[in-house]
A and B are shown apart, each in its own frame.
Chain A
Amino acid sequence: MRSSTGILAAALVLAPLAGCGGGEEVGAGGAPVVNWYVGNESWLPDVIEACNGQADGAFELRAASLPTNPDQQREQLVRRLAARDSAIDLIGMDVVWTGEFSQAGWIQPFEEGELANVGSEEQVLAGPYESALYDGRQFGAPLNSNTRLLWYRKSVLGDTPVPETWDELLDTADQLGTRIQETGRRAESLMVFFNALVESAGTSIVETEDGEARIGLEKEPTVQALEIMGRYAQSSAAPTALSTSGEDDNRLAFQSADSDSAFMINWPYVFPSVLEADPALAEDYGVAPYPSVEKGTPPAAPLGGYNLGISTYTENRDAALAAINCLTEPEQQRTISTVGGQPSVLRELAEDPAITEVLPFLPIMTEQLENAAPRPVTPAYNDLSLAVRQVLHPMRAIDDPEATYEELRNLLERALNSQAVL
């Protein structure tokens, strides 16, 4: 008896020692450590080194890695923030998490003038700036942006005009007997696709009226968007593995020497990666704006990237703020673009020669970021995204867009009120 309780007690007492964490950490030079939770990006080591180099004791930035998959990144952060984990100081939030994190009280708003480089729309491109606001206040500091583009193989396309709308794209692919690489797996990318289509068709998933959020999605434009998704997935232009393919599957399929796909919708990172893998092939890469739904309307291109947020539970707010102001400086922003292929959020870098040299299509991206269609900024964002994936995956099953519309609308309405089983 006694020995059993003794061992139990000892184990319970000793074990927490193994799991100590949190509290105010101090780095090598006595500087407060800023733990930055962010997905693994190629430019991370460079910008961290640069900022730590000039921090001069104000902070020591340390990246804590998150899983590869953005859904898993979010899931980990959400649980730790709900557990009030003080070991998290700075968060690299996918732009779409901003609403959820703000509403839950997990991140702190920025006060007027705190953000030296990214505090106003004069400094930041419209799309990224809008994504950082919640309830009229700025909760996120835009770090980098991202947008999807239409990539094509010049040699296959020849004199054929570059498609501007989805219908043109599908027709052209059909004529040329080629495929269009696009993601179709059950992941956030499906929401990205759907949101871009409905925005371009002229409606929004969520509309806010008198501070009250409700599901928008007017019927006609939504059905039009669903028709495009179904038509694409059922056509011969869809990759055979569409329902499981993600960004990198698309990149590899498009980049392979004997590719059967002359088109691809993807983020700009594909360009630095083909430059590295096969510079000659990169010559054959053409790039055009994200297709729109109706000819003549501006494309509502998807918007990606990170907003930086300061955790409510941090004990190093000043240091974290100083780190943000360093990370958003033009110097670091340039690194993010040239190393990672992701566009900067800063207006002043919109035509930056150093960036344009690596990313010749920078003007197209800037144009798209100004007119981007941010995904809904709402605390229920994650539930909405899961609902969209639930109903629209696999895309080839969208046979009857009107029925799909009703189903989607019902589920989204429940999801907006945290009442959906997903």
Chain B
Amino acid sequence: MSVGTTLGGEKTGAERRRPGGKNRDDRPAADASRTKGQTLWIVGTIVIVAYAMFPVLWIASLSFKPAADVGDGRLIPQTFSLDNYRDIFTSGEFVRPLINSIGISLITTLIAVVVAAFAAYAIARLEFPGKTILLSGALAIAMFPPVSIIGPLFNIWRTIGLYDTWPGLILPYMTFALPLAIWTLTAFFREIPYDLEEAAQVDGATPFQAFRQVIMPLALPGIFTAAIIVFIFCWNDFLFAISLTSTDNARTVPAATAFFTASSNFINPTGQIAAAAIVVTVPIIIMVLVFQRRIVAGLTAGAVKG
């Protein structure tokens, strides 16, 4: 399925051309059509930014509106209120799920990335039987509909006591976390030049030492990328979370948000949902801002390479 791209595939045409400078530096040719073209791209840029931001702004706006203004249809709140935030942090319906979400996602990420790192290294570097099956099997599992296994998992979990516990979610999260990590990491390991490892082996290191002392340090950025992506996937899960949990014991934020209670049985908790949405979205946006380049590299690596 290889498209023959490198991990640098995230680089744009402009970026790639820069070092050679073979067609970008003939500046005088900056004619009218090129300016027109540039305007088009700038408009395109603005459209994309607006596209990405709009729903976020709308929900942010709702989160700052007092209950009475929720229906006013304005993007900028008339009165600015933090009540919704105060509500979710004092009602206890949100704080515990937030802890669950963070804990469960982190543990899943940790296990998945460690286990996947070994497997990915083996796939990228070693000859052993079943390698192709493992890689394609992982891909198949990543495409698995989660609804196919919630029934059996529910039945097993309720019998062995894993229902509504952290491991009860961490295990099914492996269905997508492991394949994702294996694919991303395999691509990264393949990028690490063979020479280094061979050199280490010539120096008398065993394959395992070569892995630990040479590959691992070089692969750390890749591992980090895989971790971010796996974390985002765990953070996003909804179906497992609503099917296999039922209380604050293990309920995660997406599930908790969908089941928020309001002051009365018949009133909609719009403001609280909006505030919760912002609280869980802002850290992700910051993470995306900071690690933008890595995430792009990881996403395309996992999917296009192979």
User: Real complex partners, A and B?
Assistant: yes
Query: Closest residue to B267 on the A side, CB-wise?
Result: A248
Contact yes or no, B264 A42, CB < 8 A: yes
Report the minimum CB–CB distance from B255 to chain A (whole Å).
10
Which residues from B are CB-within-8-Å of A421? none
Q: Is B246 an interface residue (CB 8 A)?
A: yes
Stretch at the interface among B52-60, B106-114, B220-228: B106-114
Report Cα–Cα, A246/B267, bound state, in Å. 10
Report Cα–Cα, A409/B104, bound state, in Å. 46
Q: Is A65 an interface residue (CB 8 A)?
A: yes
Report Cα–Cα, A15/B167, bound state, in Å. 6
Q: Given A65-B93, A79-B154, A4–B167 Cβ distance below 8 Å?
A: no
Contact yes or no, B249 A70, CB < 8 A: no
Q: Given A16-B167, A19-B168, A4–B267 Cβ distance below 8 Å?
A: no
Among candidates B107, B158, B165, B265, residue contacting A84 with C-beta atoms closer than 8 Å? B158
Contact mask for chain B residues 150-180; partner A; CB cutoff 8 A; 1 contact, 0 none: 0000100110000111111010000000000
Contact yes or no, A68 B267, CB < 8 A: yes
Contact yes or no, A68 B165, CB < 8 A: no
Q: Which residues of A (1-58) have their CB < 8 Å from a CB of B?
A: 1, 3-4, 7-8, 11-12, 15-16, 18-19, 21, 39-42
Which residues from A are CB-within-8-Å of B250? 18-19
Report Cα–Cα, A65/B261, bound state, in Å. 8
Contact yes or no, B268 A16, CB < 8 A: no
Q: Is A251 an interface residue (CB 8 A)?
A: yes
Contact yes or no, A68 B111, CB < 8 A: no
Which of B157, B243, B247 has the most chain A CB within a 10 Å cutoff? B247
Which residues from B are CB-within-8-Å of A3? 114
Q: Is A150 an interface residue (CB 8 A)?
A: no
Which residues from A are CB-within-8-Å of B246? 76, 79-80, 83, 85
Which residues from B are CB-within-8-Å of A18? 103, 165-166, 249-250
Report Cα–Cα, A87/B266, bound state, in Å. 27
Contact mask for chain B residues 250-263; partner A; CB cutoff 8 A; 1 contact, 0 none: 10000000011111
Contact yes or no, A68 B103, CB < 8 A: no
Q: Is B192 an interface residue (CB 8 A)?
A: no
Q: Given A4-B115, A65-B261, A15–B166 Cβ distance below 8 Å?
A: yes
Which residues from A are CB-within-8-Å of B168? 19
Count of A residues near B, CB < 8 Å?
A: 37
Contact yes or no, B118 A21, CB < 8 A: no
Number of residue pairs spanning A and B whose beta carbons lie under 8 angstroms apart: 101
Which residues from B are CB-within-8-Å of A66? 261
Which residues from B are CB-within-8-Å of A68? 259-262, 265-269
Report the minimum CB–CB distance from B268 to chain A (whole Å).
7
Query: Closest residue to B171 on the A side, CB-wise?
Result: A12
Contact yes or no, A21 B259, CB < 8 A: no
Report Cα–Cα, A219/B163, bound state, in Å. 45
Among candidates A4, A11, A19, A251, residue contacting B266 with C-beta atoms closer than 8 Å? A251
Report Cα–Cα, A1/B114, bound state, in Å. 10
Contact yes or no, B118 A8, CB < 8 A: no
Q: Is A72 an interface residue (CB 8 A)?
A: yes
Which residues from B are CB-within-8-Å of A76? 246, 259
Contact yes or no, B165 A269, CB < 8 A: no
Report the minimum CB–CB distance from B204 to chain A (whole Å).
21
Which residues from A are CB-within-8-Å of B265? 39-41, 68, 70
Among candidates B111, B165, B268, B269, residue contacting A19 with C-beta atoms closer than 8 Å? B165
Contact mask for chain A residues 72-89; partner B; CB cutoff 8 A; 1 contact, 0 none: 100010011011110100
Q: Supply 12 further A-B pairs (C-beta < 8 A) apart from A68-B262, A72-B259.
A: A18-B249, A19-B165, A19-B250, A40-B262, A67-B261, A68-B266, A68-B268, A79-B246, A83-B163, A85-B246, A87-B247, A247-B266
Residues of A within 8 A of B (CB): 1, 3-4, 7-8, 11-12, 15-16, 18-19, 21, 39-42, 64-68, 70, 72, 76, 79-80, 82-85, 87, 246-248, 251, 267, 269
Instruction: Show 9 residue pairs from A and B whose CB-CB distance is below 8 angstroms, ordered by the A residue.
Output: A4-B115, A19-B249, A40-B261, A40-B264, A65-B261, A68-B259, A79-B154, A82-B158, A269-B264
Residues of B within 8 A of A (CB): 93, 103, 107, 110-111, 114-115, 118, 154, 157-158, 163-168, 170, 243, 246-247, 249-250, 259-269
